[in-house]
């Protein structure tokens, strides 16, 4: 893509896990960025590139301040709560933050004439898989408030397109994993609920063990199957989606997936293999809201965006995470 000027990209949630990796890649590829984050879950030390504006999507004037200061060309939206279990216990928190606050952002965008929006969506909008590998045409029947909040935003974007000419790309990704191969940033959540960093914490001796929730699923080894996609592959897809919109190719929705399903046990074995460390595993009851299998088909993203993952196997994904977490010691 040939650009006449440096575009300024507003990154909501750019101090978080996926947002910070995308921010790094955007800057490396010659874009300017304004990272907007309230630092509730984001990390100020992860904003090593671009401009930083501490603000909250719940406060429109906070968003406006950024749009007044910079000429924003497009928006990437990563700022969402994403704990499935918490969303079941406290749905209001998710509908306020993930839906109402997104409306605030969209309304400010319309005020300033910004019409290009890349949305961090999720495979959780599909719910229980009715087919093998999930295509974008799969029915969207989320089974928890987190997934429903993301689907609501997808539907809102369609309404804004009809009413205001908004152009958007929904990126429905599967399980984000891994870390910046240069180990400048990585995966850091509080509380941490993601399998790979939890297993690495056990390998490093920071946890006594790792827990498996459910061993009686209809899968080869009885544990859930998930599709793990490297965070830098996700970052690359966001930039391709941005350029898709900048080139006026229209709104669309894409799965971001490796197309390979790895069980919980296989991921734990990978961490043991990569780290060379052993640790104990405790088996517990199933959690509410966990589908047995979630594996995606990203053929549409490959065909239209020219995207495909570079980190294909679980050991290469885990390897970057292990390198980053080990560096932190």
What CATH number is attached to the domain comprising 252?
3.40.50.720
- 138 and 265 part of one domain: no
160 and 277 fall within a common domain: no
Q: What is the CATH number of the domain that holds 211?
A: 3.90.25.10
Q: Are residues 100 and 237 in the same domain?
A: yes
**184 within domain boundaries:** no
Q: Which among 17, 94, 126, 146 is annotated as catalytic?
A: 146
Question: In sequence order, what are the residues at sequence separation of 6 or more whose Cβ sits closer than 8 angstroms to the Cβ of residue 66?
Answer: 10, 34, 36, 53, 55, 72
Give the count of domains, the chain.
Answer: 2
Query: Are 125 and 236 within one domain?
Result: yes
Gap between the Cα atoms of 201 and 190, Å rounded: 13
Query: Cα–Cα–Cα angle for 205, 211, 214, nearest 5°?
Result: 165
Q: What is the pairing mode between strands 225-226 and 262-263?
A: antiparallel
231-to-118, 179, 236 alpha-carbon distances in Å: 16, 6, 9
> Does residue 162 fall inside a structural domain?
yes
Per-residue pLDDT of the chain (329 residues), as tens digits, is 444 456 899 999 999 999 999 999 999 999 999 999 999 999 999 999 999 999 999 999 999 999 999 999 999 999 999 998 899 999 999 999 999 999 999 999 999 999 999 999 999 999 988 988 999 999 999 999 999 999 999 999 999 999 999 999 999 999 999 999 999 999 998 888 899 999 999 999 999 999 999 999 999 999 999 999 999 999 999 999 999 999 999 999 999 999 999 999 999 999 999 999 999 999 999 987 677 888 999 999 999 999 999 999 999 999 999 999 998 64
Q: What does the alpha-carbon distance between residue 273 and residue 253 come to, in Å, rounded to a whole number? A: 36
Same domain, 266 and 130: no
| pLDDT digits 0-9 by tens, 102-117 | 999 999 999 999 999 9
Smallest CA-to-CA distance from 52 within 38, 68, 72 is with 38
Active site residue 94: no
Report if pTM > 0.85.
yes
274 domain-assigned = yes
Which residue segment(s) compose the domain that 199 sits in? 195-226+259-327
As beta bridge partners, residue 175 has 228
Domain match, 67 and 85 both: yes
On whether both 167 and 249 belong to a single domain, the answer is yes
Residue 192: C-alpha distances to residues 11, 199, 231 (Å): 23, 11, 16
In a domain, 190, yes or no: no
């Amino acid at each position: 893509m040939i650009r006449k000027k440096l575009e300024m990209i507003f990154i909501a949630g750019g101090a978080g896990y996926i947002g910070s990796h995308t921010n790094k890649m955007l800057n490396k590829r010659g874009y300017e960025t304004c990272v907007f984050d309230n630092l509730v879950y984001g990390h100020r030390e992860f904003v090593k590139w671009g401009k930083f504006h501490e603000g909250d999507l719940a406060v429109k004037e906070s968003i406006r301040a950024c749009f007044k200061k910079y000429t924003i060309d497009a928006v990437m939206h990563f700022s969402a709560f994403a704990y499935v279990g918490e969303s079941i216990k406290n749905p209001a928190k998710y509908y306020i933050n993930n839906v109402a606050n997104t409306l605030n952002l969209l309304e400010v965008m319309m005020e300033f004439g910004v019409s290009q929006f890349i949305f961090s969506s999720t495979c959780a909008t599909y719910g229980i898989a009715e087919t093998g590998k999930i295509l974008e045409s799969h029915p969207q029947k989320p089974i928890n408030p987190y997934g429903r909040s993301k689907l609501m935003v997808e539907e809102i974007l369609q309404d804004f397109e009809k009413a205001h000419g908004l152009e958007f790309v929904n990126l429905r990704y599967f399980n984000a994993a891994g870390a910046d191969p240069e180990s400048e940033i990585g995966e850091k959540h509080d509380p941490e609920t993601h399998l790979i960093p939890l297993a690495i914490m056990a390998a490093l001796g920071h946890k006594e063990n790792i827990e498996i929730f459910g061993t009686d699923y209809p899968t080869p080894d009885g544990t859930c199957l998930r599709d793990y996609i490297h965070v830098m592959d996700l970052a690359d897809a966001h930039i391709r989606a941005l350029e898709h919109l900048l080139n006026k190719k229209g709104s669309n929705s894409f799965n971001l997936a490796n197309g390979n399903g790895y069980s919980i046990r296989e991921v734990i074995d990978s961490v043991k293999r990569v780290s060379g460390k052993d640790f104990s595993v405790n088996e517990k009851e199933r959690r509410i809201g966990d589908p047995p299998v979630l594996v995606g088909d990203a053929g549409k993203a490959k065909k239209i965006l020219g995207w495909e993952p570079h980190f294909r196997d679980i050991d290469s994904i885990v390897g970057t995470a292990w390198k980053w977490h080990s560096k932190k010691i």
